[in-house]
C-alpha cells in the first residue's frame, strides 16, 4: 500500500536523490519534496511553535495544510538536551559529588515537561491540519560522547561545536567517568519520557523508536552526529518502523 510520509529534521546534506535512495529498498518512491524549515541548533520549541521565525509547525502550518499524510516522522529534542542548554542542567563540581549527583535533576525534569508540551502541541497541530488518525513517529537518541570534537562544514573552513565538553569544563567536571554517567542519565530520561508518551494515557497515535545501543564509539563523526555508516544503521531501524506503521 502506498504511503505519503512527512519527515522532519533531515540532515542538511540530504538531497532528493539521497532521500529517494534511502527508501527505494522498501518500494517505489514516486515523489520527493524537501522543504527547509529549521536551522542548525534548533530546539524543540523552535521546530514546533516558534513565534519569532517563519517555520514553527504550529504557528506557520501552511505547508501541512491540505496534505494527505499517512505518517508524520518527527525528529527533535537533541539540542534541548546536549546543546547549549546542557550547562543549565549541571552543578558546579565540588569534592564529594560524582555522576548524577552533578545533575540538577529538578531543572532537567522541568525541561522534559516543557518538551512534552511541545510534543502535545505537535499532536494538536497534526490533528487540525492533517488528521487525528495520522500517526506521529518520533525517536530518542543514542548516547553522545564528550570528545571535544566539533562538526566541520564547507570542507573544514567552518567548524560548529563542540557542544558537550566545553560545558563540562565550565562546571569543572573533568572526569570522563562522570561525563559518561551524566550523558547516559540525560539520554535515558529523554527516551523514558518519549516511551511514556507513546503508551496508553500519553499522546494518541504517538509512536516512539528506541535508538540506544545502535552506535559504537567509532560511529560518531563528532560529539553529536554519527558518521555516514552510523546514520545508515539508524536509518535502517527507522525505515523498518515506518514500514510497520499501519
pLDDT 10s digits, 139-197: 999 999 999 999 887 676 778 889 999 999 999 999 999 999 999 999 999 999 999 99
> What pLDDT does residue 195 have?
98
Nearest CA among 179, 187, 176 for reference residue 78? 187
Question: In terms of residues, how long is the chain?
Answer: 246
> What pLDDT does residue 58 have?
55
> What pLDDT does residue 27 have?
67
DSSP classification of residue 41: T
CB 120 within 8 A of CB 56: no
Write out residues in the chain with pLDDT < 70, as ranges.
1-27, 29-40, 50-66, 154, 156
Q: Would you say the C-alpha torsion 101, 104, 108, 113 has a positive or negative sign?
A: positive
> What pLDDT does residue 41 have?
76
Q: What is the DSSP string of 211-229?
A: -TT---GGGBSSSS-B-HH
Q: Distance (Å, rounded) from C-alpha 227 to C-alpha 13?
A: 13
CB 53 within 8 A of CB 46: yes
Cβ neighbours for 63, distance < 8 A, ≥ 6 positions apart: 35, 37
> What pLDDT does residue 159 have?
81
> What pLDDT does residue 53 have?
46
Backbone region of residue 96 per phi and psi (left: phi > 0; alpha: psi in -120 to 50; beta: other values) = left
Beta strands in the chain (DSSP E): 5-7, 71-74, 136-139, 151-153, 158-160, 206-209
* Greatest pairwise CA separation for the chain in angstroms: 60
Q: Distance (Å, rounded) from C-alpha 170 to C-alpha 166?
A: 6
In this prediction the pTM is: 0.84
CB 135 within 8 A of CB 71: yes
Amino acid at each position: 500500500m502506498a504511503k505519503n510520509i512527512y519527515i522532519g529534521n533531515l540532515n542538511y546534506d540530504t538531497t532528493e536523490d539521497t532521500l529517494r535512495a534511502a527508501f527505494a529498498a522498501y518500494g517505489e518512491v514516486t515523489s520527493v519534496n524537501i522543504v527547509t524549515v529549521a536551522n542548525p541548533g534548533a530546539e524543540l520549541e523552535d521546530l514546533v511553535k516558534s513565534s519569532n521565525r517563519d517555520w514553527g509547525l504550529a504557528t506557520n502550518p501552511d505547508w501541512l495544510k491540505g496534505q494527505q499524510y499517512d505518517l508524520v516522522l518527527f525528529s527533535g529534542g537533541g539540542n534541548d538536551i546536549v546543546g547549549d542548554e546542557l550547562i543549565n542542567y549541571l552543578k558546579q563540581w565540588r569534592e564529594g559529588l560524582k555522576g548524577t549527583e552533578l545533575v540538577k535533576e529538578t531543572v532537567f525534569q522541568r525541561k522534559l515537561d516543557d518538551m512534552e508540551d511541545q510534543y502535545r502541541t505537535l499532536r494538536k497541530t497534526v490533528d487540525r491540519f492533517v488528521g487525528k488518525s495520522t500517526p506521529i513517529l518520533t525517536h530518542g537518541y543514542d548516547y553522545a560522547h564528550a570528545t571535544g570534537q566539533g562538526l566541520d562544514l564547507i570542507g573544514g573552513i567552518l567548524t560548529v561545536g563542540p557542544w558537550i565538553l566545553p560545558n563540562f569544563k565550565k562546571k569543572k567536571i573533568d572526569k570522563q567517568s562522570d561525563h559518561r554517567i551524566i550523558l547516559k542519565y540525560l539520554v535515558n530520561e529523554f527516551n523514558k519520557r518519549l516511551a511514556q508518551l507513546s503508551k496508553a494515557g500519553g499522546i494518541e497515535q504517538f509512536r516512539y523508536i528506541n535508538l540506544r545501543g545502535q552506535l559504537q564509539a567509532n560511529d560518531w563523526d563528532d560529539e553529536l552526529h554519527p558518521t555516514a555508516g552510523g546514520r545508515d544503521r539508524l536509518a535502517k531501524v527507522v525505515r523498518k518502523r515506518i514500514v510497520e506503521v499501519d
